[in-house]
Amino acid sequence: MIALLALLLGATSPDPVPLRSAVETCDRGSMAMLTRAEPRRRAEWADAIYREQRAIASERASLVATSATPAGQANVASSRQTLEARQQQLEDARAVERAWREFYDEYRADFLASCSGKKRDDG
């Protein structure tokens, strides 16, 4: 599941440059393409987050059962630290996603306000 978190934080993090460029140049084609792609990207992201959170919860539940035996108690502390690190990575991924969504929404609003029916006028 750690590979999933790397994917969430790295490979699927949207690049802000195309969005910024589309807004700055009032490029309707690029903006339309970005707008069509965003719901799918968000759905895939939500699926990955759900699967990782579910895996963390499942592993936490198994720790409770493991800690009931004397042999299992030795590894419980280490396992809990690993799970807490994974949970923190998941929270970081959520924070990055929230920041992206705010960025996307603000730039989309700028595009709609500035590029409706005319070329952008920055003067």
- The CA distance from 10 to 120, in Å, is 33
Instruction: State what percent of residues in the chain have pLDDT above 70.
Output: 77
Q: How much is the mean pLDDT over the chain?
A: 85
Q: Is residue 120 part of a domain?
A: no
Task: Provide the residue range defining the domain that includes 17.
Answer: 2-114
The tokens 């923190």 sit on which residue?
88
Task: Please give the pLDDT value at position 9.
Answer: 53
pLDDT of residue 97 exceeding 50, the answer is yes
Q: Is residue 123 part of a domain?
A: no
pLDDT in tens, 43-94: 999 999 999 999 999 998 888 766 566 666 667 878 888 999 999 999 999 9
CA 105 to centroid of chain Cα atoms = 15
**Is residue 64 within 8 Å of residue 83, measured between CB atoms?**
no
Contacts of 23 (CB under 8 A, 6+ apart): 31, 107, 108, 110, 111, 114, 115
Domain total in the chain? 1
**Residue 10 burial by CB count (10 A; 0-12/13-18/19+): exposed, middle or buried?**
exposed
Q: Number of C-alpha atoms within 13 angstroms, CB side, residue 50?
A: 6
Q: Is residue 119 part of a domain?
A: no
Task: Please give the pLDDT value at position 123.
Answer: 45
